[in-house]
Structure 1
Amino acid sequence: MTFLREIVVALTFPLALTLVLLLLAFGVHAVFKRKRVAVAIALIAVGWSAFWSLPRNAEWLRESLEDRYAVAPPAEMPKADAIVVLGGGGYTWINRPGVTLDDLKYSRLAQGARLYIAGRAPRVILSGGGEGVRTEARNMARGMRKFGVPDTALLLEERSTDTTTNARYSAQIARRNGVRSVLLVTSAIHMPRASVLFRGAGLDVIEVPVPEPPSVRGDGWADRWLPSPRALWRSGRALKEYAGLMAACFGNKTA
């Protein structure tokens, strides 16, 4: 099942599916001598990646996920028993002097710190696994300390390897500490899937999406309609999230 899931995830990236379809087209032509069918498959294969390489299309696809939950200032969020911050993103800023929360608009960790400072919850669960003592959760804790969040408020979840286990192990920690409601912090594009999984793990979830930089860099025609590898990659991320969201919804219904 894990191997099949990895194949499905790989095929959500447009270039991967395009290559598979091109191989299928070659096989149809070589084995069955169906030239028209082979050409049609090849055109669909190339068109698939071409469509998702357009920045405007990538932006539209991502917005269909990112806009499901409103972004609100921390002080306007309701209170909860704990804040859960999911690992992800870079942490190179942790070692830079003079970095402030205002500098980190797109950081999940910074948003978690803002919520704590705003008094939205007394505890913070940091979820991210890794090897030995080099877990992502411990690295995240360093960032929290940088902004004045005390160790006594931090609960580290260090066993997870994906969003499913983020939810499972975070929920276990939450139950051991009397936590029922959580402010869930992750990127806006990841939030729909994460929310389904955390609710399925038995937690009351208040979604706190963190925006990501837009895929369109400017307002010109070329910025929106000129194909780019960056847009293709960002489309692939969104398609992966849709595949994961479908799997999460199906898994919750059958659980």
Structure 2
Amino acid sequence: MSQALQKLIVGLTYPPALSLCLLVLAVGLLLLRYRRSAAAVFAAAVAWSALLSVPTASDWLRGRLEQQYPLVDEAALPYADAIVVLGGGVRYGWLDRPDVRPEDLQNSRLAAGARAWLAGRAPVVILSGGGENAGEGSDDSEARMMATAIERLGVPPSALLLEERSRNTRDNARYTAAIARTRQAHRILLVTSAIHMPRAIEQFQGEGIDVVAVPVPERARRVSWKDRWFPSRSALWRSGRAIKEFGGLLMIRIQN
């Protein structure tokens, strides 16, 4: 599949993008005098984004992925040869806190990796994340930024290995597996967000790695009726992430 087509498909996972395409199709059908078909497509376009903008619907959709790998306390994890933390953004607002601790950051992949290392579950932590200049030895790779942050959480540089070439989950698995093989690391603790875990597990297992899931929650607080049922941009974005993960899983299974 071409890179341009991949980008188009990923773009359509954001509900308003697909709704816009359906609206354009509805206009075309109306111009061709297929009024009933145009009305049906128009209704589908509006309903698609309207439904997925409701936080409760978004949480239900994401839950189908997140529930596949339950959360595990780091102290209960088995021993492994390495901990692998996948990149997922480089905005670490907690770096400005004076006394930040891994236990304080329940929704952080880096904190989960740090807790597992501090619990003695594995001797090394592999940080996997490239960037726009992945593979070119850039100083601003995601893995290097992750290293700076996780050191703040108590993991020393001597325990870190950086994988800086990856641009996507498939690359994460391929290049991390290569590092693991050179170190004779057969079992890894894989740290990524709970919603991303099913796709990441399939990619890493496809590289012949024995994987133990260490999912990190991305839960949103739903206190009031409005929080649960009032449509929001955040819910749309969260729905889009879930659809992207379902699409990625489908593509893996088709290719296999």
Category of TM-score, reference length = shorter chain: over 0.9
Residue 143 of structure 1 and its aligned partner are, at CA, apart by 2.0
- Tell me which residue corresponds to 2:197: 191
- Tell me which residue corresponds to 2:217: 211
Amino acid at match of 2:48: W
CA distance, structure 2, for counterparts of residue 66 and residue 118 of structure 1: 24
Residue 94 of structure 1 and its aligned partner are, at CA, apart by 2.6
Amino acid at match of 2:128: S
CA distance, structure 2, for counterparts of residue 207 and residue 232 of structure 1: 27
CA distance, structure 2, for counterparts of residue 94 and residue 53 of structure 1: 32
Using the aligned pairs only, state the percent identity.
53
Kindly indicate whether the alpha-carbon contact (under 8 Å) linking 1:116 and 1:149 is maintained by their aligned counterparts in 2: yes
Deviations 1:84-139 (A, max 9, x none): 00011432323432111122110000100000010110111000113411111111
CA distance, structure 1, for counterparts of residue 92 and residue 180 of structure 2: 25
CA distance, structure 1, for counterparts of residue 17 and residue 57 of structure 2: 18
- Tell me which residue corresponds to 2:187: 181
Match among 216, 221, 239 for residue 235 of structure 1: 239
CA distance, structure 1, for counterparts of residue 23 and residue 177 of structure 2: 44
- Tell me which residue corresponds to 1:202: 208
Amino acid at match of 1:101: P
Amino acid at match of 1:6: K
- Tell me which residue corresponds to 1:43: 43
Residue 65 of structure 1 and its aligned partner are, at CA, apart by 0.6
Match among 235, 250, 253 for residue 249 of structure 1: 253
CA distance, structure 1, for counterparts of residue 3 and residue 67 of structure 2: 30
CA distance, structure 1, for counterparts of residue 206 and residue 167 of structure 2: 18
- Tell me which residue corresponds to 2:11: 10
CA distance, structure 2, for counterparts of residue 73 and residue 7 of structure 1: 38
Kindly indicate whether the alpha-carbon contact (under 8 Å) linking 2:201 and 2:213 is maintained by their aligned counterparts in 1: yes
CA RMSD of aligned residues (A): 1.3
| Residues paired across the two proteins, number | 249
- Tell me which residue corresponds to 1:68: 68
Deviations 1:185-232 (A, max 9, x none): 000000000110011111110000000132x521x3322222111111
Amino acid at match of 2:52: W
Give unpaired runs (5+ residues) of structure 1. Answer: none
CA distance, structure 2, for counterparts of residue 147 and residue 233 of structure 1: 29
**TM-score, normalised on structure 1?**
0.94
Give unpaired runs (5+ residues) of structure 2. Answer: none
Amino acid at match of 2:210: D
SS of aligned partner of 2:121: coil
Residue 141 of structure 1 and its aligned partner are, at CA, apart by 1.1
CA distance, structure 2, for counterparts of residue 144 and residue 73 of structure 1: 19
Answering whether residue 173 of structure 2 is matched by residue 167 of structure 1, we say: yes
SS of aligned partner of 1:241: helix
SS of aligned partner of 2:127: strand
- Tell me which residue corresponds to 1:96: 97
CA distance, structure 2, for counterparts of residue 98 and residue 35 of structure 1: 63
Kindly indicate whether the alpha-carbon contact (under 8 Å) linking 2:100 and 2:153 is maintained by their aligned counterparts in 1: no
SS of aligned partner of 1:129: coil
CA distance, structure 1, for counterparts of residue 93 and residue 207 of structure 2: 32
- Tell me which residue corresponds to 1:155: 161
Kindly indicate whether the alpha-carbon contact (under 8 Å) linking 1:109 and 1:140 is maintained by their aligned counterparts in 2: yes
- Tell me which residue corresponds to 1:55: 55
Match among 125, 142, 148 for residue 148 of structure 2: 142
CA distance, structure 1, for counterparts of residue 239 and residue 99 of structure 2: 34
**TM-score, normalised on structure 2?**
0.94
